[in-house]
Amino acid sequence: MIGRLPVRLKLTLAFTIAIAAVLTATALFLYLRLRTELDNRIDQSLEARLELVSNRLQNGSGGPRALTRAVTRGEEGTGFVQIVLPGSRTVVGAREGLGDEPVLDRADLRRLAEDGGTYDLRSGQPELGAIRVAAAPVVVGSRHYIVAVGATLEERNEALSNVRTLLLIGGPVALILAALTGWIVVGAALRPVDRMLVRLEEGLRRERTFVADASHELRTPLTQLKMELELMRQERPEGDEFDAALAAAIGDTDRLSMLSEDLLVLARADRDRLPVNREEVDVGKLFAAVAARYPAEQVVVGAVGEGKQEMTIGADLPRLEQALGNLVDNALAHGAPPVRLSAVRRPGTIELHVTDAGGGFPPDFIPQAFDRFSQASSGDGGSGTGLGLAIVRAIAEAHGGTAAVGNRDGGADVWLALPA
C-alpha cells in the first residue's frame, strides 16, 4: 500500500512522523522537567519550615499546645503544621484554623517515627485537597513527637494541567504546520529531480527514436550494397559492367561512411562531448575555403561585415567548414544556384548565412527543419539522410550559439548565430 504512494507523499509522511516523535519527546521532557522543578521548590520550602518548627519545638518551654501555637504563629500561605503523638495520633499542636484532625494516619506515623520523609497524600480535610507532606520525629525531653508540615498541591497541579492543555492543543497544531512545511519543502526539493527525470525520459525517448531512425537509414545502403555484391558474385560482370557495379558499391560504402560519421557527431553532441578546439578564424577566408570546393558559378562569397575590415571569430575551423559545407550541399541539392555565403555582425553575435535562389523551404517544414532525419518533400528524388541541418545545429550549440532557417527573397536562408 505504502509502496504505491507518490514519493513526495512518502517523504512528507516520514518527515511528519519524525517531527511527531520529536514533538512528543520534547513535550514529555518539558512536562516532566516542570513537574520536577515545582516539586523541588515545594520540597525546599517544606524542609525549611520543618527545620524551623522542629528547632522552635526543641528550644521552647511550657506545654506542648502553647508551644505549638507559638512556633506556628505567623505562618503564611495555605500550608499546615501539626505536631502529633505517634502512639495515639493525638494532635498536640496545630496551626491556628487547621483543626485537631490528624493529617497522617497510623501507618504514616509508624513509618515516620524513625527517619521522617516527604510524600504526597490526599488529605481528609476538604479545604486542603491533595497535599505534599514533610515530616520528622522530634524528641523534647522524654517525649516523642512527629512534626509534619505540608503544602497544598492545588497550584502545582493547576499549573501542570494548564501545561498539559497547552501541549495537547499546541502539539497537533505544530505537527500540522510541520507537515505542511514538509510538503512544501519536499516539493521544492523534488522539483529539480522531477525536471531531471523529465529530461531523462525525454532523452531516452529521443535516444530510442534516434536508434530506430539510424537503423532505418543504415538498412537501405546496406541492403543495396548487399544486393550489388550478390549480383556481382552471380553474374560475374566484366569490363564496363564490372566498373559500373563496383562504382555503385563504392558509392553505397561512401554513403555508409558519411552516415556513420554524422551519427557519431550527433551522439557526441547528445552527451555534450562534441569537441570544439577554438582558434581565431577569419570569416572571409573561411567562406573562400568552403566556396573553393564547388564550381565558381554555383557558390559565391557575398558581403562579410562592413567595409574592408576583417571579421574574425573564435571557433573550431573544421567544424565550421563542416557545418557550412552541409548547408551548401543542401542548397545545391534542394534549392538552386547561385548559393551565396555572407556574414552579418549583430550585437554580441556574428551570423553566417547560406542563401540560395530556389523556391525556399515549405512553410510546414521550417518548424522541424533541424529535427533529425527530417526532410522536406520534394520531387527531386533526393536520397539525403536528413541529418545535415541537425549537425549544423549541434555544431552551433557546441560553440554556444544557435542555428535558424527561413525564406528570403524567394530562396532559402539558413544561418548560424555564434558569439562574437
**Binned average pLDDT, 10 residues per bin, the chain of 420 residues:** 72 89 92 91 86 76 52 56 74 61 71 69 61 81 79 86 91 90 85 79 68 60 73 74 73 64 62 76 89 89 72 87 87 87 89 88 80 62 65 85 84 88
Determine the pLDDT at residue 381.
Answer: 44
Determine the pLDDT at residue 86.
Answer: 74
Residues 322 and 362 in one domain: yes
Last residue of a domain, one of 152, 170, 191: 152
Last residue of a domain, one of 252, 270, 288: 270
Residues 11 and 145 in one domain: yes
Residues 336 and 404 in one domain: yes
Give residue 16's domain range: 2-152
Residues 92 and 42 in one domain: yes
Residues 28 and 124 in one domain: yes
Determine the pLDDT at residue 62.
Answer: 45
The string of DSSP codes covering 118-144 is EEEEE-SSTTT-EEEEEEEEEEETTEE
Last residue of a domain, one of 270, 295, 324: 270
Residues 328 and 389 in one domain: yes
Residues 261 and 287 in one domain: no
Neighbours of 185 (CB within 10 A): 13
Classify 191 as helix, strand or coil: helix
Residues 17 and 45 in one domain: yes
Determine the pLDDT at residue 33.
Answer: 93
Residues 227 and 303 in one domain: no
For 211-220, letters b (16+ CB in 10 Å) and e give eebbeebbee
Q: Which helix (H) or strand (E) segment is 208 a member of?
A: helix 154-235
Determine the pLDDT at residue 34.
Answer: 93
Residues 233 and 293 in one domain: no
Q: How far is CA 204 from the centre of its chain?
A: 23
Q: Is 398 exposed, middle or buried (0-12, 13-18, 19+ CB in 10 A)?
A: buried
Work out how many domains the chain is built from and give that number: 3
Which residue matches cell numbers 501507618?
A: 107
With the C-alpha atoms ordered 247, 334, 365, 401, is the resulting torsion angle positive or negative? Answer: positive
Determine the pLDDT at residue 135.
Answer: 84
Q: How far is CA 389 from the centre of its chain?
A: 37
Tell me the CATH number at 299: 3.30.565.10
Residues 303 and 405 in one domain: yes
Determine the pLDDT at residue 379.
Answer: 45
- How do beta strands 299-304 and 339-346 pair? parallel
Rounded CA separation 206/43 (Å):
78
Tell me the CATH number at 181: 1.10.287.130
**CA-CA-CA-CA dihedral for 303, 306, 307, 309, to nearest 10:** -100
Determine the pLDDT at residue 123.
Answer: 57
Tell me the CATH number at 72: 3.30.450.20
The grid cell for 239 is 569490363
Residues 229 and 288 in one domain: no
All residues at 6 or more sequence positions from 34 whose CB lies less than 8 Å from its CB, including other chains: 159, 160, 163
